[in-house]
Structure 1
Amino acid sequence: MATWQGDPDKPVVSICCITYNHELYIEDALEGFLIQETDFPFEIIIHDDASTDRTADIIREYEAKYPKLIKPIYQKENQYSKEGFKFFFELLKSCNGEYIALCEGDDYWIDPKKLQVQIKYMQDHPGCSMTFHASNYVDAISSQLVKRHRNDTRSRSFSMDELILGGGGLVATQSIVFRSIVVRQPPDFLINAPVGDYPLVLAARLSGDVHYLDFTGSVYRMNNPISAMGKAQELSPALYVYRYSKIAAMLNEFNLATHGSYRRYVRLKSSQIILFSLLRAYKQLRFSQRKKLLQEYGNCLIVLHRLAAAIFIIPFMPDIFRVCIACRRFVIGFLKSTYRHTPCKSNRA
């Protein structure tokens, strides 16, 4: 804060943090915000969605230390359970900055120059509506590094088809910084979506460039049972597929909003999403239940994915399929080896 230039009451960036029952993690998130070294003022808008643990108490402790910086919203009733992610767009109205940076309460930032680098790029490139960067994925239980999520080996802008096909896992949510104008009048596909980050990235690309900066600035915690992904794993197979079908529905709504400009990519990605959820649900279902799910969602699949879903509907087919693949590889390998070591016989005398 000592390096800030400009009026502290007019933040350039609003850090928007949603939290629920993150007492084990919220301090890491807050400390990641506080270590940021910028030449511009920022604010921290933190929304506690009626946590039942000590999350709100920890936020209050930080609020007492940094009353002008940390601006909490304490809910008495859980908003996500009432209206899904629609509350998120109401929350964004509380953000005063020209730019909004995202980080959920169980994730955190590790690079003190993160905000400065992203904002500098966007100020230098007025046509850029969003930036994101690489992120480390760690296990929420063991704190062990699982993988390094690096989108490319260099900084570059991503096309709309790459963002559609990349899905929600392409852009790490806690790495996102976007212009607030993107959500000033959010499109229906964004408001009605069952998730917040994936459609937000698509909406940003409609407004300008979405640019990847090749540095690691944050940590995403995997396998957290409290997170949206963690809760999804606990759903019944039918509800699990239904949840992902809503994401496919969001893409179809996006397709209408863009007058079919990206129809090909939307159709392919929607089908991939449904197929993925079906194959995951199949593991817990009997044949008759698998058949019922396929009948319900089969029309959402392209022909190739429908064939794959039909093959895997039979309980023992995956094993047969794997055996066939292994046999094919063995035969091809054997033939290549035989051909490679068989001397060429000339017909000449």
Structure 2
Amino acid sequence: MEDNSLVSVIVVTYNQHDSIARTLDSILMQKCRLPIEIVVGDDASTDGTRAVCEDYVRRYPHIVRLMPAAPNKGVVDNYFDCLLACRGKYIADCAGDDYWIDPMKLDKEVEIMETDPLVTIVHTNWRIYNESTHETKDNDVVQFPARKTDGKLMLEAIVTQTVTPVVHLCTALYRAETIKRCYDANIDLFRNKDIGCEDLQIVFMLALNGKVAYLPDVTMTYSTGKPSVSNQSNHVKRFRFVRQTAMLSWRLANLAGIDTEQTRWFFSLRVYELLMHAFRSGDAKLKAIALECMSIWNVKPDKRIKTAMAVMSNAVLWNVMLGVRGAFVAIKRLLSLF
């Protein structure tokens, strides 16, 4: 049952023993007018992450709830199991390798939500921290900087985002009732095993159903530089992620009847990306899947796509070009040493 005096914070984590305490501490430091609960979903970690979470449950039994141990679910099922377990009127989340840096983050967002019932989600700016180089920089790409925006005006941008999210969900607070209603109306949009992510459809559906509020305050540190679902060096895995997220974008665009020059460019770009990952992996089956996606997304091949298709149409030429690419990469690495 929903508690109208409570804020729920979702923390999904997997093998983040070195960072999960930092994440939980950043949430516990919040000075919010409403009490908070932290719903932690550990996805069968093997590095001791769960033991750290269990320690926080012992220390903060009235705040931290750890979801029951279960076989590995994947990020999508893990997230939505946590979401359905949330009891709060509002929901926020912070990934197990990210952390909040403003102790008033939740309170500022709650104030906006409480004063304007038409706002379905409020978000903030963030900074980026590279775990490998230890470099930090503020995000400088904010597509909708207005204090409040009609969410429908943001749908095209949300569907076609490529590098920087229009709304970084780990900075956001959103209405539990709105997203749970959307979830119940179309569970497959959220739970489909082939969608690859959990945040895109949440942000899209919240924008579709109300106003989006924005605070320019930098409230969250987004950690990069380590392998993740969206940051893979393996071309087969990267192919799978690009296809899954693009397929979700296609479903969302169709849901809202969005077919514009921008969306057509986006899906053309995604087809080219898929072909490049297929090329680099040397996998003809991936090429076939990429061409299938081109048909589904109604993409008319441009020069780049036609060139990629031509190179991969002949096995000998494909292997020769892979060799050329390998030599180029080796030379580039060698030159970087001097």
- Cα distance in 2 for partners of 1:154, 1:295 equals 40
C-alpha deviation, 1:79, in angstroms? 1.4
Partner of 1:272: 269
Alignment of 1:157-172 (within 5 A): 157=149, 159=153, 160-167=155-162, 169-170=164-165, 171-172=167-168
Partner of 1:308: 304
Q: 1:257 aligns with which of 236, 255, 258?
A: 255
Helix, strand or coil at the partner of 2:302: helix
SS at match of 1:211: strand
Q: Give the Å deviation of 1:233.
A: 3.2
Report deviation, 1:281: 4.6
Question: Is the CA contact (8 Å cut-off) linking 1:279 and 1:309 kept in structure 2?
Answer: no
Question: Residue 191 of structure 2 aligns with which residue?
Answer: 191
State the TM-score, normalizing by the size of structure 2.
0.78
Kept in 1: contact 2:120–2:212 (CA 8 A): yes
In structure 2, the partner of 1:132 is: 123
Structure 2 residue 96 is matched with structure 1 residue 100: no
Aligned residue in 2 for 1:229: 230
1:42 is matched with 36
Q: Report the Cα offset of residue 10 of structure 1.
A: 6.3
RMSD over aligned Cα, in angstroms?
2.9
* Residue pairs, 1:82-121, within 5 angstroms: 85-121=76-112
- Runs of 5+ unmatched residues, structure 1: 1-8, 320-349
Q: Tell me, what secondary structure is at the counterpart of 2:106?
A: helix
Distance 1:16 1:295, change over 3 A: closer
Taking every aligned residue pair, what percent have the same amino acid on both sides?
22
Unaligned ranges ≥5, structure 2: 312-317, 325-338
Query: Deviations for 1:190-243, whole angstroms, at most 9, x for unmatched residues?
Result: 332321011111111121112222111001111222x3223x43352xx53343
List, as ranges, runs of 4+ consecutive aligned residues in structure 1 with deviation greater than 6 Å: 288-291
Letter of the structure 2 residue corresponding to residue 143 of structure 1: H
Structure 2 residue identity aligned to 1:24: D
The residue aligned with 1:330 is: none
Considering Cα pairs closer than 8 Å and 6+ residues apart, tell me whether 1 or 2 has the greater RCO: 2
CA shift for structure 1 position 150: 4.3
Matches of 2:131 and 2:226, distance apart in 1: 5
Q: Is the 8 A contact 1:154 1:214 kept in 2?
A: no
Distance 1:27 1:199 in 2: 28
Larger radius of gyration: 1
Q: Distance in 2 between matches of 1:285 and 1:88?
A: 34
Q: Give the superposition deviation at 1:305.
A: 5.4
1:52 to 46, 49, 52: 46
Aligned AA for 1:271?
Answer: S
How far did 1:266 drift? 4.5
How much has 1:122 moved relative to structure 2? 1.5
**Counterpart AA for 1:135:** W
188, 208, 221: which is aligned to 1:219? 221
The count of corresponding residues between Structure 1 and Structure 2 is 300
Which residue does 2:246 correspond to in 1? 248
- Partner of 2:88, secondary structure, is coil
Match of 2:10 among 16, 22, 34: 16
Change in CA separation of 1:40 and 1:289 when aligned onto 2, cut-off 3 Å:
closer
Cα separation, partners in 2 of 1:143 and 1:90, compared to 1, 3 Å: same
AA in 2 matched with 1:182: T
Equivalent AA in structure 2 for residue 66 of structure 1: Y
Shift in CA distance, 183/168, structure 1 to aligned 2, threshold 3 Å: farther
Q: Distance in 2 between matches of 1:91 and 1:290?
A: 33
Structure 1: distance between partners of 2:60 and 2:276:
48
C-alpha contact (below 8 Å) 2:9/2:38 kept by paired residues: yes
User: Alignment partner for residue 69 of structure 1, among 63, 66, 75?
Assistant: 63
1:182 matched to which residue of 2?
Answer: 178
Code of the aligned partner of 1:113: M
**How big is the shift at 1:68?**
0.5
Cα contact 2:271–2:290 (8 A) shared by 1: no
Deviations 1:273-325 (A, max 9, x none): 33334335544549x78965664444356666532222355487xx9xxxxxx
Could you tell me whether the CA contact under 8 Å between 1:133 and 1:216 is conserved in 2?
A: yes
CA–CA separation in structure 2 for the residues paired with 1:33 and 1:247: 29
The two structures have a TM-score, normalised by structure 1, of 0.76
